[in-house]
Structure 1
Protein backbone atom coordinates (compact mmCIF):
# COMPACT_ATOMS: atom_id res chain seq x y z
CA UNK A 1 0.00 0.00 0.00
CA UNK A 2 1.13 3.52 -0.84
CA UNK A 3 -0.45 6.62 0.65
CA UNK A 4 -0.21 10.38 0.48
CA UNK A 5 -0.82 12.10 3.81
CA UNK A 6 -1.01 15.59 5.29
CA UNK A 7 0.95 16.27 8.47
CA UNK A 8 -0.12 18.88 11.00
CA UNK A 9 1.67 21.84 12.52
CA UNK A 10 3.40 21.14 15.87
CA UNK A 11 0.68 22.65 18.08
CA UNK A 12 -2.13 20.77 16.32
CA UNK A 13 -0.08 17.56 16.30
CA UNK A 14 0.36 17.95 20.07
CA UNK A 15 -3.38 18.47 20.58
CA UNK A 16 -4.11 15.19 18.76
CA UNK A 17 -1.39 13.35 20.67
CA UNK A 18 -2.94 14.67 23.91
CA UNK A 19 -6.21 13.03 22.89
CA UNK A 20 -4.35 9.81 22.08
CA UNK A 21 -2.90 9.94 25.60
CA UNK A 22 -6.33 10.46 27.19
CA UNK A 23 -7.40 7.20 25.57
CA UNK A 24 -4.30 5.40 26.86
CA UNK A 25 -4.97 6.70 30.39
CA UNK A 26 -8.54 5.34 30.10
CA UNK A 27 -7.02 1.95 29.15
CA UNK A 28 -8.56 2.07 25.68
CA UNK A 29 -7.18 1.49 22.19
CA UNK A 30 -5.25 4.51 20.97
CA UNK A 31 -2.98 5.46 18.09
CA UNK A 32 -0.45 6.34 20.81
CA UNK A 33 0.09 2.60 21.25
CA UNK A 34 1.62 2.42 17.75
CA UNK A 35 5.21 3.25 18.53
CA UNK A 36 6.71 3.07 15.03
CA UNK A 37 8.92 5.99 14.02
CA UNK A 38 6.50 7.15 11.32
CA UNK A 39 3.39 7.13 13.51
CA UNK A 40 2.04 10.67 13.59
CA UNK A 41 -1.35 12.36 13.45
CA UNK A 42 -2.13 12.71 9.76
CA UNK A 43 -4.89 13.07 7.19
CA UNK A 44 -4.82 10.45 4.44
CA UNK A 45 -5.37 12.08 1.05
CA UNK A 46 -5.00 9.01 -1.18
CA UNK A 47 -4.26 5.30 -1.02
CA UNK A 48 -3.00 3.21 -3.94
CA UNK A 49 -1.51 -0.24 -4.30
CA UNK A 50 1.21 1.38 -6.46
CA UNK A 51 2.30 4.90 -7.36
CA UNK A 52 3.78 5.75 -10.75
CA UNK A 53 7.27 7.23 -10.13
CA UNK A 54 6.37 9.97 -12.62
CA UNK A 55 3.75 11.20 -10.14
CA UNK A 56 6.35 12.17 -7.53
CA UNK A 57 7.27 15.56 -9.13
CA UNK A 58 3.57 16.40 -9.53
CA UNK A 59 2.94 15.50 -5.88
CA UNK A 60 5.86 17.73 -4.88
CA UNK A 61 4.23 20.62 -6.75
CA UNK A 62 1.02 20.07 -4.78
CA UNK A 63 2.96 19.84 -1.50
CA UNK A 64 4.67 23.15 -2.29
CA UNK A 65 1.29 24.89 -1.89
CA UNK A 66 1.31 24.15 1.86
CA UNK A 67 0.72 25.30 4.55
CA UNK A 68 -3.04 25.02 4.41
CA UNK A 69 -5.27 26.13 7.30
CA UNK A 70 -7.29 23.25 8.72
CA UNK A 71 -9.91 22.97 11.40
CA UNK A 72 -10.27 19.79 13.41
CA UNK A 73 -13.91 19.37 14.28
CA UNK A 74 -15.95 16.82 16.20
CA UNK A 75 -15.18 13.24 17.09
CA UNK A 76 -16.89 10.70 14.85
CA UNK A 77 -17.12 6.91 14.72
CA UNK A 78 -16.57 4.81 11.58
CA UNK A 79 -17.23 1.13 11.06
CA UNK A 80 -19.38 -1.80 12.15
CA UNK A 81 -18.71 -4.21 15.01
CA UNK A 82 -15.13 -2.91 15.48
CA UNK A 83 -15.04 0.85 15.36
CA UNK A 84 -12.57 3.58 14.43
CA UNK A 85 -12.64 6.81 16.44
CA UNK A 86 -11.63 9.90 14.44
CA UNK A 87 -11.51 13.68 14.50
CA UNK A 88 -13.25 15.04 11.42
CA UNK A 89 -11.76 17.92 9.47
CA UNK A 90 -14.12 20.74 8.61
CA UNK A 91 -14.20 20.71 4.82
CA UNK A 92 -13.62 23.89 2.84
CA UNK A 93 -12.86 24.64 -0.81
CA UNK A 94 -9.08 24.85 -0.23
CA UNK A 95 -8.96 21.39 1.35
CA UNK A 96 -11.08 19.90 -1.42
CA UNK A 97 -8.89 21.56 -4.07
CA UNK A 98 -5.74 20.12 -2.48
CA UNK A 99 -7.33 16.68 -2.35
CA UNK A 100 -8.37 16.91 -6.01
CA UNK A 101 -4.86 18.03 -6.97
CA UNK A 102 -3.35 14.97 -5.26
CA UNK A 103 -5.81 12.69 -7.07
CA UNK A 104 -4.94 14.35 -10.39
CA UNK A 105 -1.20 14.04 -9.70
CA UNK A 106 -1.57 10.32 -9.02
CA UNK A 107 -3.72 9.73 -12.07
CA UNK A 108 -5.25 6.31 -12.59
CA UNK A 109 -2.07 4.31 -11.91
CA UNK A 110 -2.61 1.53 -9.37
CA UNK A 111 -5.74 0.38 -7.63
CA UNK A 112 -6.98 2.92 -5.13
CA UNK A 113 -9.09 2.91 -2.02
CA UNK A 114 -12.45 4.19 -3.28
CA UNK A 115 -13.04 5.95 0.06
CA UNK A 116 -10.13 8.32 -0.68
CA UNK A 117 -11.37 9.26 -4.14
CA UNK A 118 -12.78 12.76 -4.79
CA UNK A 119 -16.47 12.83 -3.97
CA UNK A 120 -16.19 9.95 -1.47
CA UNK A 121 -13.41 11.16 0.85
CA UNK A 122 -14.09 11.99 4.50
CA UNK A 123 -11.06 13.88 5.81
CA UNK A 124 -10.14 12.86 9.34
CA UNK A 125 -7.37 12.16 11.83
CA UNK A 126 -7.54 8.73 13.47
CA UNK A 127 -7.60 8.59 17.27
CA UNK A 128 -8.10 4.83 17.80
CA UNK A 129 -8.92 1.63 15.91
CA UNK A 130 -10.59 -1.61 16.89
CA UNK A 131 -12.95 -0.38 19.58
CA UNK A 132 -16.02 -2.31 20.66
CA UNK A 133 -19.33 -0.54 21.23
CA UNK A 134 -18.82 -0.23 24.99
CA UNK A 135 -15.30 1.11 24.43
CA UNK A 136 -16.65 3.79 22.08
CA UNK A 137 -18.84 5.12 24.88
CA UNK A 138 -15.92 5.09 27.32
CA UNK A 139 -13.68 6.80 24.76
CA UNK A 140 -16.18 9.58 24.14
CA UNK A 141 -16.43 10.10 27.89
CA UNK A 142 -12.63 10.17 28.28
CA UNK A 143 -12.25 12.73 25.50
CA UNK A 144 -14.97 15.02 26.83
CA UNK A 145 -16.85 17.39 24.57
CA UNK A 146 -13.79 18.77 22.84
CA UNK A 147 -13.58 22.05 21.04
CA UNK A 148 -12.65 22.69 17.42
CA UNK A 149 -8.91 23.10 16.84
CA UNK A 150 -7.63 25.67 14.36
CA UNK A 151 -4.34 24.57 12.86
CA UNK A 152 -2.52 23.96 9.62
CA UNK A 153 -1.40 21.15 7.39
CA UNK A 154 2.28 21.93 6.98
CA UNK A 155 3.73 18.93 5.20
CA UNK A 156 2.69 16.24 2.77
CA UNK A 157 4.36 12.86 2.91
CA UNK A 158 4.36 9.57 1.07
CA UNK A 159 4.07 6.31 3.04
CA UNK A 160 5.18 2.97 1.61
CA UNK A 161 3.82 0.15 3.76
CA UNK A 162 5.98 -2.49 2.08
CA UNK A 163 9.27 -0.80 2.97
CA UNK A 164 7.76 0.84 6.09
CA UNK A 165 9.26 4.12 4.92
CA UNK A 166 7.82 7.64 4.86
CA UNK A 167 9.26 10.74 3.23
CA UNK A 168 8.32 14.37 2.89
CA UNK A 169 7.18 15.68 -0.46
CA UNK A 170 8.33 19.18 0.52
CA UNK A 171 12.04 18.37 0.78
Structure 2
Protein backbone atom coordinates (compact mmCIF):
# COMPACT_ATOMS: atom_id res chain seq x y z
CA UNK A 1 0.00 0.00 0.00
CA UNK A 2 1.01 3.59 -0.64
CA UNK A 3 -0.05 6.74 1.14
CA UNK A 4 -0.41 10.27 -0.16
CA UNK A 5 0.58 12.56 2.71
CA UNK A 6 0.63 16.33 3.07
CA UNK A 7 3.52 17.74 5.12
CA UNK A 8 2.99 20.84 7.24
CA UNK A 9 5.11 23.97 7.36
CA UNK A 10 7.99 24.08 9.83
CA UNK A 11 5.86 26.02 12.32
CA UNK A 12 3.00 23.50 12.30
CA UNK A 13 5.47 20.61 12.37
CA UNK A 14 7.21 22.10 15.42
CA UNK A 15 3.91 22.66 17.25
CA UNK A 16 2.83 19.04 16.68
CA UNK A 17 6.22 17.78 17.87
CA UNK A 18 5.86 19.93 21.01
CA UNK A 19 2.50 18.27 21.70
CA UNK A 20 4.09 14.86 21.15
CA UNK A 21 6.75 15.79 23.72
CA UNK A 22 4.15 17.08 26.19
CA UNK A 23 2.19 13.84 25.96
CA UNK A 24 5.32 11.73 26.39
CA UNK A 25 6.59 13.77 29.35
CA UNK A 26 3.20 13.24 31.01
CA UNK A 27 3.51 9.47 30.63
CA UNK A 28 0.85 9.29 27.91
CA UNK A 29 1.03 7.62 24.50
CA UNK A 30 2.68 9.84 21.89
CA UNK A 31 3.85 9.54 18.32
CA UNK A 32 7.01 11.28 19.52
CA UNK A 33 8.06 7.88 20.86
CA UNK A 34 7.66 6.18 17.46
CA UNK A 35 11.19 5.07 16.51
CA UNK A 36 10.90 4.78 12.72
CA UNK A 37 13.05 7.28 10.80
CA UNK A 38 10.09 8.29 8.59
CA UNK A 39 7.97 9.39 11.57
CA UNK A 40 6.90 13.02 11.22
CA UNK A 41 3.69 15.06 11.40
CA UNK A 42 1.55 14.61 8.29
CA UNK A 43 -2.01 14.49 7.00
CA UNK A 44 -2.83 11.28 5.16
CA UNK A 45 -4.98 12.09 2.14
CA UNK A 46 -5.48 8.49 0.95
CA UNK A 47 -3.97 5.03 1.20
CA UNK A 48 -4.10 3.16 -2.11
CA UNK A 49 -2.68 0.05 -3.73
CA UNK A 50 -1.02 2.13 -6.46
CA UNK A 51 -0.18 5.74 -7.18
CA UNK A 52 -0.58 5.30 -10.95
CA UNK A 53 -2.67 8.20 -12.22
CA UNK A 54 -1.99 10.45 -9.22
CA UNK A 55 -2.73 14.02 -10.33
CA UNK A 56 -0.41 16.93 -9.51
CA UNK A 57 -1.04 18.21 -5.98
CA UNK A 58 -1.81 21.91 -5.72
CA UNK A 59 0.47 23.03 -2.89
CA UNK A 60 0.94 24.97 -0.74
CA UNK A 61 -2.48 24.59 0.82
CA UNK A 62 -3.75 26.73 3.70
CA UNK A 63 -4.57 24.79 6.84
CA UNK A 64 -6.29 25.55 10.11
CA UNK A 65 -5.81 23.11 12.96
CA UNK A 66 -8.81 23.26 15.25
CA UNK A 67 -9.73 20.94 18.12
CA UNK A 68 -8.04 17.99 19.77
CA UNK A 69 -10.24 14.88 19.84
CA UNK A 70 -10.29 11.12 19.82
CA UNK A 71 -10.80 9.46 16.45
CA UNK A 72 -11.46 5.89 17.48
CA UNK A 73 -8.33 5.12 19.57
CA UNK A 74 -6.18 7.84 17.98
CA UNK A 75 -5.64 11.22 19.60
CA UNK A 76 -5.70 13.77 16.77
CA UNK A 77 -5.56 17.47 16.06
CA UNK A 78 -8.33 18.04 13.54
CA UNK A 79 -7.72 20.04 10.38
CA UNK A 80 -10.57 22.25 9.21
CA UNK A 81 -12.04 20.57 6.14
CA UNK A 82 -11.72 23.57 3.82
CA UNK A 83 -13.13 23.50 0.29
CA UNK A 84 -9.56 23.41 -1.10
CA UNK A 85 -8.62 20.42 1.07
CA UNK A 86 -11.80 18.58 0.09
CA UNK A 87 -11.11 19.34 -3.58
CA UNK A 88 -7.57 17.96 -3.27
CA UNK A 89 -8.81 14.81 -1.53
CA UNK A 90 -11.59 14.28 -4.08
CA UNK A 91 -9.16 14.74 -6.98
CA UNK A 92 -6.69 12.23 -5.54
CA UNK A 93 -9.37 9.73 -4.51
CA UNK A 94 -11.20 9.86 -7.85
CA UNK A 95 -7.87 9.33 -9.67
CA UNK A 96 -6.34 6.47 -7.65
CA UNK A 97 -9.10 5.25 -5.33
CA UNK A 98 -8.15 3.88 -1.95
CA UNK A 99 -9.28 4.86 1.48
CA UNK A 100 -10.95 6.95 2.75
CA UNK A 101 -13.67 7.85 0.29
CA UNK A 102 -14.79 11.49 0.38
CA UNK A 103 -17.73 10.84 2.70
CA UNK A 104 -15.39 9.32 5.32
CA UNK A 105 -12.46 11.78 5.03
CA UNK A 106 -11.67 13.31 8.45
CA UNK A 107 -8.57 15.47 7.98
CA UNK A 108 -6.24 15.41 10.99
CA UNK A 109 -2.70 15.24 12.28
CA UNK A 110 -2.16 12.29 14.61
CA UNK A 111 -0.72 12.90 18.07
CA UNK A 112 -0.96 9.36 19.48
CA UNK A 113 -2.21 6.01 18.22
CA UNK A 114 -3.83 3.13 20.11
CA UNK A 115 -4.53 5.23 23.19
CA UNK A 116 -5.98 2.90 25.85
CA UNK A 117 -9.50 3.88 26.92
CA UNK A 118 -8.32 4.58 30.47
CA UNK A 119 -5.70 7.10 29.19
CA UNK A 120 -8.02 8.98 26.84
CA UNK A 121 -9.53 11.38 29.43
CA UNK A 122 -6.07 12.36 30.72
CA UNK A 123 -4.77 12.98 27.19
CA UNK A 124 -7.78 15.09 26.28
CA UNK A 125 -7.54 17.05 29.55
CA UNK A 126 -3.82 17.70 29.05
CA UNK A 127 -4.45 19.20 25.60
CA UNK A 128 -7.78 20.87 26.34
CA UNK A 129 -6.30 24.38 26.15
CA UNK A 130 -4.47 23.95 22.83
CA UNK A 131 -5.41 26.92 20.68
CA UNK A 132 -6.32 26.62 17.01
CA UNK A 133 -3.40 27.31 14.69
CA UNK A 134 -3.20 28.36 11.07
CA UNK A 135 -0.46 27.41 8.68
CA UNK A 136 0.11 25.54 5.45
CA UNK A 137 0.77 22.17 3.98
CA UNK A 138 3.82 22.87 1.87
CA UNK A 139 4.86 19.55 0.36
CA UNK A 140 3.78 15.95 -0.06
CA UNK A 141 5.26 12.49 0.17
CA UNK A 142 4.27 8.88 -0.16
CA UNK A 143 4.96 6.08 2.29
CA UNK A 144 5.29 2.53 0.98
CA UNK A 145 3.99 0.19 3.67
CA UNK A 146 5.85 -2.82 2.24
CA UNK A 147 9.33 -1.29 2.05
CA UNK A 148 8.72 1.19 4.90
CA UNK A 149 10.25 3.97 2.83
CA UNK A 150 9.14 7.45 1.82
CA UNK A 151 9.45 9.35 -1.43
CA UNK A 152 8.71 13.00 -2.15
CA UNK A 153 5.76 13.69 -4.43
Band the TM-score falls in, shorter-chain normalisation: over 0.9
Residue of structure 2 equivalent to 1:96? 86
Residue of structure 1 equivalent to 2:135? 151
The TM-score, its normalising length taken from structure 2, stands at 0.94
2:107 aligned to which of 89, 105, 123: 123
3-state SS of the aligned residue for 2:113?
Answer: strand
1:69 aligned to which of 62, 65, 68: 62
8 Å CA contact 2:68–2:128 kept in 1: the answer is no
The TM-score, its normalising length taken from structure 1, stands at 0.84
Deviations 1:94-115 (A, max 9, x none): 1111111111331x4xxx33xx
Count of residues in Structure 1 that have an aligned counterpart in Structure 2: 153
3-state SS of the aligned residue for 2:124?
Answer: helix
* Unaligned residue ranges in structure 2 (runs of 5+): none
Q: Which has the larger radius of gyration?
A: 1
Residue of structure 2 equivalent to 1:162? 146
Establish whether residue 38 from structure 1 lines up as the match of residue 29 from structure 2.
no
Deviations 1:70-90 (A, max 9, x none): 0011011122xxx21001111
Which runs of at least 4 in structure 1 moved beyond 6 Å after TM superposition?
A: none
Question: How far has the Cα of 1:138 moved from its partner?
Answer: 1.2
Residue of structure 2 equivalent to 1:141? 125
